[in-house]
């Protein structure tokens, strides 16, 4: 199976690369002799022992805002599956750059979906909890998290563009898998967990909001869940994630406890950190549908401990 990974320089794209390389570092990753541009993976499709070949695509090769680059790259490398981690993700900046955000997350995704459909390429596209309103009262209405069927109602431009991208793909009625994630964390790229560790070491004290709740999702779990869904030939919209629910403040406390760092953390309201884009108060996604397919969903602490341990020298 030939897998191409767009957005390879972002957090999720980097995580895919490291996962597929296994224990190999960048200098040891073995290029395929029969598939130019691809790398051989140590990961196999357990259902039929099919080898996986993977291809990282950076923005210079694959730009969601430039449909021509999408078509040229797909024609050149002809993947069986395209894992799209590329997106416009500047949540606050999107309020001022609405046209650009829509160009990438909606129009670009529509062009990508059409290009994949025309070439019989299976598309896996990552979306976000920001497609939901994130209202405080929804925590009572959906105690297990938003199900896939919950009404969408984005409260900021970023969420609106991601929702529009979803709708564009679903309208194609092709072999598309849309996977929503929230509070994404890993050892790669920029994320909340790494920020907390860095600021705790540099500032000696922290202020973190306690009126936004959700559950951290770790990229290694996301990748493993995605691969299992590919094996099951799943289609449509699914939520990936972890078990549990926590506030950003309590999550920060747990991170520092796992890292054995003792600094004071003050709980503050969202008003303490004013931002252009409205942030959801409730971000938990239900993973019941995923679990009903027989896919394991782990407590968030499991991956968190592993990631924190890998970042001791951050």
Out of 38, 39, 158, 188, pick the active-site residue. Answer: 158
Q: How far apart are CA 142 and CA 245, in angstroms?
A: 12
Contact of 276 with 162, CB cutoff 8 Å:
no
- Angle of CA points 47, 50, 52, to nearest 5°: 120
158 tagged catalytic: yes
Residue 15: is it exposed, middle or buried by C-beta count within 10 angstroms (0-12/13-18/19+)?
A: buried
Catalytic residue IDs: 158
């Amino acid at each position: 199976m030939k897998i191409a990974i767009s957005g390879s320089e972002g957090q999720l794209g980097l995580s895919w690369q490291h996962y597929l390389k296994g224990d190999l570092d960048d200098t040891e990753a073995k290029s395929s002799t029969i598939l130019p541009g691809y790398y051989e993976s140590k990961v196999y499709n357990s259902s039929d022992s099919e080898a996986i070949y993977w291809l990282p695509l950076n923005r210079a090769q694959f730009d969601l805002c430039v449909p021509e680059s999408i078509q040229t790259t797909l024609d050149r490398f002809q993947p069986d599956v395209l894992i799209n981690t590329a997106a416009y993700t500047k949540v606050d900046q999107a309020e001022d750059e609405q046209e650009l955000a829509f160009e990438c997350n909606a129009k670009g995704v529509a062009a990508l979906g059409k290009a994949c459909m025309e070439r019989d390429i299976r598309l896996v596209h990552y979306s976000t909890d920001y497609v939901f309103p994130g209202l405080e009262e929804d925590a009572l209405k959906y105690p297990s998290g938003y199900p896939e069927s919950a009404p969408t109602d984005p409260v900021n431009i970023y969420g609106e563009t991601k929702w529009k991208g979803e709708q564009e793909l679903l309208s194609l009625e092709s072999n598309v898998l849309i996977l929503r994630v929230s509070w994404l964390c890993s050892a790669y790229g920029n994320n909340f967990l790494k920020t907390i560790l860095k600021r705790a070491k540099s500032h000696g004290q922290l202020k973190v909001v306690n009126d936004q709740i959700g559950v951290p999702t770790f990229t290694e779990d996301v990748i493993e869940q995605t691969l299992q869904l590919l094996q099951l030939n799943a289609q449509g919209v699914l939520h990936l994630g972890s078990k549990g629910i926590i506030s950003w403040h309590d999550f920060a406390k747990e991170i520092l406890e796992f890292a054995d760092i003792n600094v004071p953390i003050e709980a503050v309201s969202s008003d303490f950190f004013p931002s252009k884009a409205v942030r959801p108060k409730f971000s938990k996604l239900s993973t019941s549908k995923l679990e009903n397919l027989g896919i394991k969903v782990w407590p968030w602490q499991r991956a968190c401990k592993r990631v924190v341990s890998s970042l001791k020298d951050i």
